[in-house]
Amino acid sequence: MSDAPQRNPHSIATRKGDDGTTGLLYGQRIPKDHPQAETVGALDELNAAIGLAKAYCSAAARRAELERIQKDLVALMGEIACAESDAGRYAESKFAKVDEAALAVLDAGVTAIEARQPKFAGWATPGANPHAAALDVARTLARRAERRMVTLHTNGRTLRPVLLQYVNRVSDLLWLMAREAEQS
C-alpha cells in the first residue's frame, strides 16, 4: 500500500506540464517557452489586466465594453492555441472567432471616445486613479501581446491579419479609455 496521496481525477493539476511542456488546443505538446505559448500567455495577461480595470470601473457601459473585449480575447487565444496543422480544423469549428465585426466594434469605441475629446498633452503619466492606471497596465500588455503575435510568423504559425489588427486596436482603445478615466 502506497503512502502517496491519491490524485483527484477532476483536478486542474494534470501534471502533464511537469516536463516543461504545455498542450495546444487539439492535443499537441510544445515547450512552455515556445513562441506560441508565450503569445497565448501574453494574451492571458492582457485578459487578466482588463479584468482588473473592469473591477475598478463603476460605469456599467464601460464594464460591459471591457467584458466584451475579454470574451474576444478568449476566442483569439483559442485560435492561436492550435498548431498550424490544425488551423483549418479550427476555422471550421464552432468556436467563437474574432472577425471584422469585432474589429469594427473597437473602431467605433475609438471614434466615440475621440469625439468626446478627452484632454491629454504629450506622453501619458499613468496613475491618476486606480481605474486609469489599470487601463494603462492593460494597454502595455496589449502591446506586448502584439509583439508576441508578430513573432509567430517567423516561427511557422500563420495568423489571420484581423487578429493582429484587433489587438492593435485594443491597445488604442485602452489608451483612450485611460485618458478619459483620468478625468473622472
In the chain the domains, ranked by start, together with CATH numbers, are 31-110+123-182 (1.20.1200.10)
Q: At what angle do helices 35-55 and 130-154 cross, to 10 degrees?
A: 160
Is the sign of the CA dihedral 97, 103, 105, 106 positive or negative? Answer: positive
pLDDT score of 1: 53
Give the mean model confidence (pLDDT) for residues 139-149: 98
Cell numbers placing 6: 491519491
Q: What mean pLDDT, rounded, does the chain reach?
A: 92
Are residues 112 and 181 in contact, defined by beta-carbon separation less than 8 angstroms?
no
Residue 34 DSSP class:
S
pTM of the model as a whole: 0.89
pLDDT digits over 87-135, tens only?
Answer: 999 999 999 999 999 999 999 999 999 999 887 777 778 888 999 999 9
Query: What is the predicted pLDDT for the residue at 27?
Result: 87
- Rounded CA-CA distance 90/84 in Å is 10
Q: Can you give the pLDDT at residue 23?
A: 87
Per-residue model confidence (pLDDT) at position 162: 98
* pLDDT at residue 4, as a whole number: 63
Banded pLDDT at 55 (limits 50, 70, 90): very high
How confident is the model at residue 179, as a pLDDT? Answer: 94
Mean per-residue pLDDT, 2-13: 72
In this prediction, residues 141-168 reach a mean pLDDT of 95
Decide if 168 contacts 146 (C-beta within 8 A): yes
How far apart CA 152 and CA 106 sit, in angstroms, is 24
